[in-house]
Amino acid sequence: MFPQTFDYTAPTTLDEAVKLLGGGAKALAGGMSLIPMMKLRLASPEHLVDLGRIKELNYIREESGALHIGATATHYAVESSPLVRTKCPLLAETAAAIGDVQVRNMGTLGGAVAHADPSADYPAALQALEAKIVLRGAGGDRTVSAAEFFVDAFTTVLNEGEMVREVIVPVDTSGVSYQKVPQPASGFAMVGIAARVKKAGGKVTEARIGVTGLTNSSFRATAAEKALEGTNGSAADIQKAAALVAQGSDANSDIHASADYRKHLAVVYTGRALIAAMGRAQ
Amino acid sequence: MATTITKTETLVGKRIRRREDPRLITGTATYVEDIQMPGMHYAAIVRSPHAAANIRSIDVKAAAAAPGVVAVFTGKDTEKVGPVPCGASLPDLRVPHHHIMAIDRVYYVGHAVAVVVATDRYLARDAADLLEIDYDVLPAVADPEKALAPGAPAVHPQWPDNTAFNYHQEGGDIAKAFADADVVVKQRITSQRLVPNAMETRGVVAEWRGADRQLNLYTSTQVPHLVRTLVAGMLGLEENRMRVIAPEVGGGFGSKLNIYAEEALMGFVAMKIGKPVKWIESRRENFLTTIHGRGHVDYYEVAAKKDGTILGIKLKIIQDLGAYHQLLTPAIPTLSVLMMPGLYKTKNVSADIVGVFTNCVPTDAYRGAGRPEATHGIERMVDILADELGMDPAEIRLKNFVANEEFPYPTATGLTYDSGNYAAPLDKAMALADYSKILQEQVEARKQGKLVGIGISTYGEICAIGPSPATPAGGWESATVKIEPSGTVTVMTGTCQTGQGEETTFAQIAADELGVDIDNILVLRGDTSIVQYGIGTFGSRATAIGGTALYFALQELKAKVKLFGAMLLESDDVTFSGGQVTCNKSGKTKGLAEIAGATYRAMKLPPNTEPGLVATHFWEPPNFTFPFGAHIVITDIDKETGDIAIRRYIAVDDCGNIINPLIVDGQVHGGVAQGLGQALWEQAVYDDNGQLITGEFMDYAMPRAHMMPWIESSHTITPTNVNPLGVKGVGEAGTIGCSPAVVNSVVDALSHLGVRHIDMPLTPEKIWKLANAGGTN
Amino acid sequence: MKISGSYTLPLPIERAYAVMQDPAVLGRAIPGCEGLEKTGPDEYRMKMKMALASLSGAFEGKVRITDQAPPSSFRLVVEGTGRVGFVKGDGLLKLATVDGGTEVSYEGDAQVGGTMAAVGQRLIDGTAKMMIKKFFDRLAQEANAQDATE
Ligand SMILES: Cc1cc2nc3c(=O)[nH]c(=O)nc-3n(C[C@H](O)[C@H](O)[C@H](O)COP(=O)(O)OP(=O)(O)OC[C@H]3O[C@@H](n4cnc5c(N)ncnc54)[C@H](O)[C@@H]3O)c2cc1C
């Protein structure tokens, strides 16, 4: 478990980091995904740029109706931030469901997003929240939606030399819930469902369902969302909507769960997440 | 005269904290990895990525020329080193020659092919990548039943049937038992391959002092003396020229009850390069190359009368041995056969074992070693029988238990159960569970469509392994006790704890016998140059045998202390107690320190007495011990997802007398954790090509703190008469009692749906399918 | 591991068959492939660089095409070995005319060994799927590009 020799730079400004990344270096954030790969020599980057000392990347703040979270905010920071807990509880709840306490102390939002593990937790919430992801490259910033950002397993729209700068989530007043089935060994989500519901006059006015773990990439279960919107949100309505969540999806399978079981879990946990979210919606 | 403090409080039986824990918890203990030496070199081992392949060529040039590299050795270079030994002997056993590194063919993924030695561990690892090995990949077989099928790839080409041995044992009249039966139940039951996963991986430091002709080997082992005897033999070195030291050992669970190729390999390297060399196993190597446990496919048949009386048991074991025999590989399933009747009276048994080679790492002893398999099998079968007969699982057990007045009880497999009161722990566990109430509750729950299970297992195990005729390397244990001139006490034991707490329990025993403060006692182990000789720690033997050796050494020493005390007091009527010798007439006393000083100064000696205060005792046990117990597990199953929640875990264990209840609880907790691991989560999965696909903690699911239920642990106490301490052993009990209780509980929860058996691990997906379809998996 | 699936190439069946036998096209379509070099009839040596998230590795391998039955089926065998392990894929590809082009259905076996196999269990299924999808996407693009230049 010894990585290959590599160079290491720890810049203190974003510009410096971007310059180094443009030169072919690889970003190091919490190292919770990258370092194990390096120790197994499944990854052997020649140059690491540690983002940990760049103060301008580590923040959580509210700006015109949205929360802006810097790339190096740790899972623990997100989970425990009073701002996130009150203004975007879904994200805090999701952060709290990641791995274990050591992983949450080290791992970062930007790293998790950039890594795009098909079983990562955050993507479900970011899909349900219709989050925006701000990318920084040599040419400056660009902003993409979560739906566009996650392309496939470990594949995002990030270009060579480009990095995740921040994640923007709305200040959210809907009823929310994140429900996951942890893989027994790693703790990653075999299925993770992030649900948001808004109600008015006894009707569901808006439903958002983000799904992770089921397929190669996170997605929004739009058919299920539509089926729920306009209903009373009764148990029967929820069940009907949840049944649609995995429809047509090309579910993954491994020794822990077959594709069919994953799909089934997605349906069950969508139901559970929606019931919990509904209970919290005004 | 100096004041002597008389110690009156006894420590045996007290819940005192482990003396070793502060250094373990604060990370300041000295493990192999912590050994530093000037001029230390580091080894990286190159291992096969293929399960079966011929090695066409190995090109070491680039690696040998890499920075920092001082040597590269391949299998051909180490060909003359003796084979990795197998200590088990069975009739007609086929023993493949187990070179310390592969020479022209590899037999499993992880098989060592070459070793690179460099001045720095990073450089060694870098250079390892530069070896060019040309493999001709061959078909492999990783499943024991597939290996037995005609036309399967041969693991060892000279034995195309992949069969290492066939073993048969029987007792009583099995044909009659089955002819007389009202009912026969049959079931295939598996005990999956498991990875022992000690927290500390293996590691070796070898130091060759050429001028002294002395090899010092630091290794993470449960059996340092065996390592010395056997590795010295492999290296062709005189045994007295080798010193083996097991510093702190961070867990073994049987996986370090072995002689490993790397122990000899590092000795070889150190002798070649004349410099100390260190190899620390990576976690990845640990998964691939340290022995695995279990690997059974069992076919059971049980014959019984309508009233539940068990008449006979037939068992066929297919044991996955892996590619080679490690120290005890073929012997492990024979322990399952010995314990196949469990706690039940039946005198009629028939057992067959087929030992099968596969292209996998060898299996060997893992916590319980053969007994968890046997217990799992018989306890599942008794439940299946009860179900067949419509009997209560507790009732059928009580009916078949060996009765209290029948001890010592000769079993169908040739053992003699020492002592027992088998109903006692079951009664106690049932009372704790409020058995009849929970049965009622289950009826109600089922009416509401809920799945609640109640599982019982009553286990017996064979411990204190074992009398020498039954143990390959001798089954005795030794202890030396030395009272130093200043009166402090040093205990040297041949056992070699790897976390069990003997530093505390042995000190408790010595403190009570000598009447001294426990802080004055030092317990040493794990160094062949300090400890006389010893067998080691495994098979729940350390306290029952090693503790007894200590007890007898203490008696000899006490007699001598008394003799010297009497001389100093000029009296022939003295008593030794509370750490001092008292003249019964005058009431005058002499403290231990004063007496000890006098024995070493030896100004005057009692007649026929030697100076000094040292006693050594080698103790040979007359029998094994047979602890037992009852575990009850209550589960709630989520029908929608198949998730299993353990509502209550009740463990009532009888391990004879208890020296330290805190340590015994710890052993039960740890054992249950590993039992739950097997029952619910763990599995070493090889794919069809012999790749270990659960080769890291990302996929190999270990039980962790947040996954554990609350364990309600309690005891009954039935001392053994095999040793004067009355202790039986408890290191493996939790693991043995656990898995059948959990599986019985889950099967019970689903039994009304037609489920009769489920193989481990009980993954939610399996349960979900069964809960929604019924049948047997 | 068994793999199976299908993909529709927007090409007539003969054309689809032909591009899949063209080493230049294959070389560009196999994800990470840095070129194919002919070593025998329908046999090629391949250099591959895999980069997937932080996982990266160089592989040397072989591509073989056998059992050709134009235009309806052939077998493709791809092998690669590198420091992080090895991969081997062996699959039968069947072509059939459908609306909008040719449906290629594949069925085969994939083997992964070495470090990758032991630590990438939960990723292998998804990764295999992704690589296959990339392969066909690229194939379609390549064919279109060729058609455009022809
Ligand atoms: C034992 C364990 C359990 C885990 N369980 C879970 C779980 O249950 N759920 C879950 O979601 N995750 C889990 N994880 C993963 C964890 O959340 C990681 O922290 C996360 O996936 C990666 O974040 P990081 O900051 O550690 O990134 P790193 O490991 O440092 O980097 C990961 C990748 O992202 C790149 N990168 C990092 N930051 C940026 C950036 N700002 N811009 C562009 N690229 C960047 C790196 O170059 C690298 O390729 C677990 C990890 C471990 C070790």
Alpha-carbon span B474 to A106, nearest angstrom: 51
The tokens for A27 are: 């970003």
What pLDDT sits at residue C25?
87
Residue nearest to atom 21 of ligand 1 (CA): A112
Q: Which residues of A200-227 are buried (b: 16+ CB within 10 A; e: fewer)?
A: eeeebeebbbbbbbbbbbbbbbeebbeb
Determine the Cα–Cα distance for residues B111 and B129; give it in Å rounded to an integer.
16
User: Does residue B643 lie in a domain region?
Assistant: yes
| Residues in a beta bridge with A145 | A132
Domain residue limits at C20: 2-149
Is residue B171 in some structural domain? no
Q: In this predicted structure, what is the pLDDT of residue C143?
A: 77
pLDDT band at B777 (very low <50, low <70, confident <90, very high): very low
Q: What is the CATH number of the domain that holds A134?
A: 3.30.465.10
User: CA-CA distance, C83 to B743, in Å (whole number)?
Assistant: 42
Residue B774's pLDDT is what? 53
- Domain membership of residue A1 (yes or no) is no
DSSP state of A56: G
Please check whether residue A19 is in contact with residue A60, taking contact to mean a CB–CB distance below 8 angstroms: no
Partners of residue C85 in chain B, C-beta under 8 Å: 49
Rounded Cα gap, residues A215 and B114, in angstroms: 41
DSSP label at B372? H
Report chain B's terminal Cα–Cα distance, integer Å: 78
Q: Would you call A42 and C124 a contact, using CB atoms and an 8 Å cutoff?
A: no
Cα-based torsion angle of the residue sequence B422, B427, B428, B434 in order, rounded to the nearest 10 degrees: 150
| Chain C environment of A252 (Cβ under 8 Å) | 125-126, 129
Of the residues C3, C83, C109, C121, the best mutation for testing chain B's interface (the one with the most B CB atoms within 10 Å of its CB) is C121
Q: What is the CATH number of the domain that holds A247?
A: 3.30.390.50
Residue A261 within any structural domain of the chain: yes
Assess if residue A230 is contained within a domain.
yes
- Total structural domains within chain A: 3
Q: Any idea what the CATH number is for the domain that residue C21 is in? A: 3.30.530.20
Domain end residue (candidates: B596, B619, B642): B619
Query: Is the domain of A136 the same as that of A213?
Result: no
Say if B166 falls within a structural domain.
no
DSSP H helical segments within A101-247, as ranges? 101-106, 109-115, 122-128, 146-149, 222-228, 235-242
Give residue B66's domain range.
Answer: 32-138+201-249+256-289
Residues A231 and A198 in one domain: yes
C-alpha–C-alpha distance, residues B349 and B89, integer Å: 22
- Residue C53: predicted pLDDT: 61
Gap from CA of A33 to ligand 1 centroid (Å): 4
ipTM higher than 0.90?
yes
Query: If you measure CA to CA, which chain A residue comes closest to C51?
Result: A43
Q: Are A141 and A166 in contact (CB under 8 A)?
A: no
Average pLDDT in chain A = 96
Round to whole Å and give the CA distance between A202 and A198.
Answer: 10
pLDDT for the residue A95: 98
**Residue B144 included in any domain:** no
Total count of residues recorded for chain A: 282
Would residue B100 count as lying in a domain? yes
Whether residue B646 is found in the same domain as residue B764: yes
In this structure, the answer to whether residues A242 and A218 fall within a common structural domain is yes
Give the integer Cα–Cα distance in Å for B406 and A119: 59
CB-ligand 1 contact for A115 (6 Å cutoff): yes
Determine if ligand 1 sits within 6 Å of the CB of residue A110: yes
CATH number at residue A46: 3.30.43.10
Which residues have CB under 8 Å from B645's CB, separation 6+?
A: B635, B636, B637, B638
Number of domains making up chain C:
1
CA distance A249 to B206: 56
Given this model, what pLDDT does residue B120 score? Answer: 96
CA distances B563 to A38, A254, B5, B513, B584, Å, are: 67, 72, 21, 16, 14
Q: How confident is the model at residue C86 (pLDDT cuts 50, 70, 90)?
A: confident
Q: Domain span at residue A40? A: 7-51
Global pTM value: 0.94
pLDDT 10s digits, B548-596: 999 999 999 999 999 999 999 999 999 999 899 999 999 999 999 999 9
One domain, residues B392 and B513: no
Helix (H) or strand (E) holding C147: helix C121-149
* Angle formed at CA A225 by CA A219 and CA A226, multiple of 5 degrees: 125
The arithmetic mean of pLDDT across residues B399-428, rounded, is 97
Residue B159, domain member (yes or no): no
- CATH number for the domain spanning B79: value is 3.90.1170.50
Q: What is the pLDDT of residues B316-367, one digit of tens each?
A: 999 999 999 999 999 999 999 999 999 999 999 999 999 999 999 999 999 9
A132 in the same domain as A29: no
| Residue C13: how many other CB atoms lie within 10 Å | 19
- The yes-or-no verdict on residue B3 having pLDDT over 90 is no
Quickly list DSSP for B674-727. Answer: HHHIIIII----B-TTS-BSS-STTTS----GGGPPPEEEEE-----SSSTT-B
pLDDT (mean) for C35-47: 89
Angle, nearest 10°, between helix axes B733-750 and B371-389?
30
Domain membership flag for residue A238? yes
Instruction: List the CATH number of the domain containing B505.
Output: 3.30.365.10
Number of domains in chain B: 3
- The residue contributing the CA closest to ligand 1 atom 2 is A99
Could you tell me which residues of chain A have a Cβ less than 8 Å from any Cβ in chain C? 26, 33-34, 37-38, 40-45, 115-119, 152-155, 183, 186, 188, 215-216, 250, 252-256
**A91 plus A127 within the same structural domain:** yes
**pLDDT (average), residues B148-171:** 98
Strand boundaries in B505-544, DSSP class E? 521-524
- Same domain, residue pair B425 and B350: yes
Residue A118 CB less than 6 A away from ligand 1: no
